[in-house]
Amino acid sequence: MLKIGIIGGSGLDNPTILHKAVEVKVETPYGLPTSQLTRGMIEGVEVVIIARHGKDHSIFPSGVNFRANIWALKEQGCTHVLASTAVGSLREEIEPGHLVFPDQFIDHTKKRDTTFFDEDVVVHTPMAEPFCSNLIELCSTSAGRLQIPFHKNKTVITIEGPRFSTKAESKMFRSWNADVINMSTVPEVNLAREKKIHYASIAMSTDYDCWREGEESVTWEIIMKTMKKNADNVIKLFLDVIPKIRDYNDVCIK
């Protein structure tokens, strides 16, 4: 049965887009998720929302209980996850305000719990294609229909945070062929893959990090200003694409 999980990032922790919304408290073997779950409907599709950094944005990136969040969404029956996230652009053409649907990641984190399989059994999960290509295509089609500038099939690098990059690091990440940078996609995406959840990142470019000469270096204030200005685009995308996921899923099942 199709059920969509939404993981809310900066500025999108609790979008009021659900019909018949109810709060659900969940406990997991990995502790509490970062927020209570909000469960409801969008055009007949069951949706569950979780706030990645807490509903008051009080949890720093490496303090996010990623395992509890993904476990909770799986336990609620989520088959697909749309994860919103703020990203810095490492490419001239990815302008602030543009959406990005990455298909690859580079893990530059250092101290996060990155697997469910670290105790009784060893499982080597294939990760060549970490993001769901079908969700990427559906999101891209919706963004095009809504006339929202977007980029697909890009690489996101996830750093530990909470500090931002130095100029040397930002230029190095560009040399690694990373296109955008954030602090949240890893280990979220690989944990979703371990739980066999279809996962796509809805990334919003908020700044040019600090590599671009003549550009003001990224600050939290810049990120929030851009997110507030463009959060409506992400919500419009959710509302448009979620029924399309249902229709696509129905065709595939038939």
Lookup: tokens for 223: 């990120």
pTM over 0.85: yes
Active-site residues: which are they? Answer: 207, 209
Q: Tell me the residue type at 226.
A: T
- Is residue 219's pLDDT more than 90? no
Read off the pLDDT of each residue in 28-45 and give the average, rounded to a whole number. 95
Give residue 45's pLDDT: 96
Write down the domain spans for the chain.
4-253
As beta bridge partners, residue 100 has 151, 203
Pick the CATH number of 4-253 from 3.40.367.20, 2.40.240.10, 3.40.50.1580, 2.10.70.10: 3.40.50.1580
Give residue 253's pLDDT: 46
Read off the pLDDT of each residue in 243-252 and give the average, rounded to a whole number. 79
- Is residue 14's pLDDT more than 70? no
Cis omega (within 30 of 0) for bond into 126: no
Q: How many Å apart are CA 33 and CA 39, to the nearest integer?
A: 14
Q: How many Å apart are CA 40 and CA 18, to the nearest integer?
A: 5
| pLDDT tens readout for residues 119-150 | 888 899 999 999 999 999 999 999 999 999 99
| pLDDT tens readout for residues 39-63 | 999 999 999 999 999 988 889 999 9
Read off the pLDDT of each residue in 60-78 and give the average, rounded to a whole number. 97
Return the number of other C-beta atoms located less than 10 Å from residue 95's C-beta. 12
